Amino acid sequence: MWCGRVAKNLGLSAELQETASLSGALHDVGKIALPPEVLLKAGPLDAAEWDVMRAHAELGGQMLARIPALADLAPIVRAHHERFDGAGYPDGLSGEEIPLPARIVSIADAFDAMIGTGPHRGALSVRTALEELRGGIGTCWDPAVAAAMIAIVQPVSIARTLRQA
């Protein structure tokens, strides 16, 4: 959902909005190939386990590349953990080298992970997650994509605060 909304907020074509949405839905498909003891481990992962976990982006890209109807999404899924500053994985892409839909998936995935709970961490408040997004502009995330994401989430955060008051 976040991916499609960010793509729309960026003014992308309906086709690119659909690509971003579908990529967002499939971005973690490579995790089905990971050992459950790593994927579902309660608590922090060690360095070797993180290496296994990081492989999901490349594995997902390989899986989608084999399906003709989804092959166009393979580079997006592969690149969804690349960082705008080049410090991501699996290929160390930076800036505009990263496909735009992958830059959208990256920030949407990060935000969703921040506000949700998982086996490796607890949930952050929306306000704290927004601060994290702002802190990663230009390093983790494309500034334009981050601005679009924040513009979508900011009203949600304000509305929640008002409802709680």
68-77 confidence digits (pLDDT tens): 999 999 999 9
Output the CA–CA distances (angstroms, integers) from residue 111 to 1, 66, 84, 131, in the order listed: 12, 29, 16, 11
Q: Indicate if the pLDDT at residue 159 is higher than 80.
A: no
| Interval 74-100 mean pLDDT | 98
Task: Show Cβ contacts of residue 47 under 8 Å, excluding neighbours closer than 6 positions.
Answer: none
Going along the chain from its start, the domains and CATH numbers come out as 2-164 (1.10.3210.10)
Q: What percent of the chain has pLDDT over 70?
A: 91
**Better pLDDT: 59 or 120:** 59
pLDDT tens digits, residue range 129-144? 999 999 999 999 999 9
Whole-prediction pTM: 0.91
Half-sphere exposure of 137 (CA within 13 A, CB side): 14
- Per-residue pLDDT of 101-126, as tens digits, reads 999 999 999 999 999 877 666 789 99
pLDDT at residue 156 in the model:
58
**CA 90 to chain CA centroid, nearest Å:** 14
Confidence check: pLDDT of 165 > 90: no
**What mean pLDDT value characterizes the chain?**
92
Of 120 and 31, which is predicted with more confidence?
Answer: 31
Peptide bond into 44 cis (omega under 30): no
